[in-house]
C-alpha cells in the first residue's frame, strides 16, 4: 500500500483463465473509491502515468486524493499480447476485464465502488463493460477522445484502411498530437508510452456503429470529454451533445470540453485539470452511492 500523500505506482499482473493481464496501480489503504483506467491504442497503462511528469499522472493524482487507481493493460496489450489471437471476440475481452477487476479487489478495499475511465480506443471496452449486466455495479463511467464521426480534417485518411494510414503517417501524427505545444516536449510523439497493438484493434474500430445500442444499455452516470483541440474525432458542442444523447438510460450525463487539450488528454499540460474534473465526477458518483440512490458496489470474487 502507498503513503496516500506520496503515492507510488507499482506494476503487477493478474491471471485470468491462464491469461496474464498486466497493470499499473496506486493502491490506497482505505480508498474513497477505485478508478479502473483503460488506455487507448498504440500505448499501454503508462498513458495514465506520464513518464517524467508525475503531476500529469492520473495514477498519482487520484491516489493523492484518496482514490485507488488501477490502469489495466487492455486484453491483447502488455503481458497478454501473446494471447491476442484468442481475444478477437469483444465479449471475451469484456469478461477478462471484469474478472481481472474482481480478482484484484477480492482482498482489497474498494471504498464506495469502481469508477471506470477510458481514453480513445479504450472507450470501446469501457462502454461494453458498462453496458454489460455487471456494469450496473459501477459508480460511473468516463469516456474521452472518442466519438461516432471523425474530424472533418481527418476523415479522409482515417476511414480508408490501414494501408492509407501508413501513407498518411504524418497527418495521423498531427491529428494525435497537433503542433505539440499542448504537451511537454519530451512527451510529443508518444515514444515513452508506445506499445505493440494487437491485430484485433483495427477491426475493433468499427465498434462506433454499435455505439448507440451499447450506450442505451448503460445505467450509471456518464461523463464525456473532448479536448478543445481534438482532431481525430469531431469536436465542439454538437459532437458533445450527440454523444450525450446516446446514453438514454443513464441517470446523469455530463459533457465537457477540456481547454488547452488535444486528443491525448492525460499527457498534455492540462492533464491535471482534466484528471481533477474526472475525479470530481467520480466523487459525485460516490456521494450518490452513499445516499443509496445507485446500485450497490460489486463484490470481488476470490481466486
User: How confident is the model at residue 141, as a pLDDT?
Assistant: 98
pLDDT recorded at residue 140: 98
User: Sign (positive/negative) of CA torsion 268, 273, 277, 283?
Assistant: positive
CATH class of the 10-290 domain in this structure? alpha beta
CB 114 within 8 A of CB 139: yes
55 exposed, middle or buried (CB, 10 Å; 0-12, 13-18, 19+)?
exposed
What is the model's pLDDT at position 183?
97
Distance CA 164, CA 156 (A): 9
Look at residue 301 in the predicted model and tell me its pLDDT. 39
* pLDDT tens across the length of the chain (303 residues): 555 556 799 999 999 999 999 999 999 999 999 999 999 999 999 999 999 999 999 999 999 999 999 999 999 999 999 999 999 999 999 999 999 999 999 999 999 999 999 999 999 999 999 999 999 999 999 999 999 988 877 656 555 555 554 555 667 778 889 878 999 999 999 999 999 999 999 888 789 899 999 999 999 999 999 999 999 999 999 999 999 999 999 999 999 999 999 999 999 999 999 999 999 999 999 999 999 865 555 544 333
**Core vs surface per residue 13-22: b (16+ CB within 10 A) or e:** ebebeebbbb
Write down the pTM of the prediction.
0.92
Query: What pLDDT is stored for residue 179 in this prediction?
Result: 77
**Helix extents (H) in 132-270:** 155-158, 162-167, 169-177, 200-204, 211-215, 237-244
pLDDT at 303: 31
> For the chain, which residues make up each domain, given as ranges?
10-290
So what's the pLDDT on residue 24? 98
What's the distance, CA 153 to chain centroid? 25
On whether the CB atoms of residues 238 and 247 are closer than 8 A, the answer is no
- SS3 of residue 20 by DSSP: strand
Amino acid at each position: 500500500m502507498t503513503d496516500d500523500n506520496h503515492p507510488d505506482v507499482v506494476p503487477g499482473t493478474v491471471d485470468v483463465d491462464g491469461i496474464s493481464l498486466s497493470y499499473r496501480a496506486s493502491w490506497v489503504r482505505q480508498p474513497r473509491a477505485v478508478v479502473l483506467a483503460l488506455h487507448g491504442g498504440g500505448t499501454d497503462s503508462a498513458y495514465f502515468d506520464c513518464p517524467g511528469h508525475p503531476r500529469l499522472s492520473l495514477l498519482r493524482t487520484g491516489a493523492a486524493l484518496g482514490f485507488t487507481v488501477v490502469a489495466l493493460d487492455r486484453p491483447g496489450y502488455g503481458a497478454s499480447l501473446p494471447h491476442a489471437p484468442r481475444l478477437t471476440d469483444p465479449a471475451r475481452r469484456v469478461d477478462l476485464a471484469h474478472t481481472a477487476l474482481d480478482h484484484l479487489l477480492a482482498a482489497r478495499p474498494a471504498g464506495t465502488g469502481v469508477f471506470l475511465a477510458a481514453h480513445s480506443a479504450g472507450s470501446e471496452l469501457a462502454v461494453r463493460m458498462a453496458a454489460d449486466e455487471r456494469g450496473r455495479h459501477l459508480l460511473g463511467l468516463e469516456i474521452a477522445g472518442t466519438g461516432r464521426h471523425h474530424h472533418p480534417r481527418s476523415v479522409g485518411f482515417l476511414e480508408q484502411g490501414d494501408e492509407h494510414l501508413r501513407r498518411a503517417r504524418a497527418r495521423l501524427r498531427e491529428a494525435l498530437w497537433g503542433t505539440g505545444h499542448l504537451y511537454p516536449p519530451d512527451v510529443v510523439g508518444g515514444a515513452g508510452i508506445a506499445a505493440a497493438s494487437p491485430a484485433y484493434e483495427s477491426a475493433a474500430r468499427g465498434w462506433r456503429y454499435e455505439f448507440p445500442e451499447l450506450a442505451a444499455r448503460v445505467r450509471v452516470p456518464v461523463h464525456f470529454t473532448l479536448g478543445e483541440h481534438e482532431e481525430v474525432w469531431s469536436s465542439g458542442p454538437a459532437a458533445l451533445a450527440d454523444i450525450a444523447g446516446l446514453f438514454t438510460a443513464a441517470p446523469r450525463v455530463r459533457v465537457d470540453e477540456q481547454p488547452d487539450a488535444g486528443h491525448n488528454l492525460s499527457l498534455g499540460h492540462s492533464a491535471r485539470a482534466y484528471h481533477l474534473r474526472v475525479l470530481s465526477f467520480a466523487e459525485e458518483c460516490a456521494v450518490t452511492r452513499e445516499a443509496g440512490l445507485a446500485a450497490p458496489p460489486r463484490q470481488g470474487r476470490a481466486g
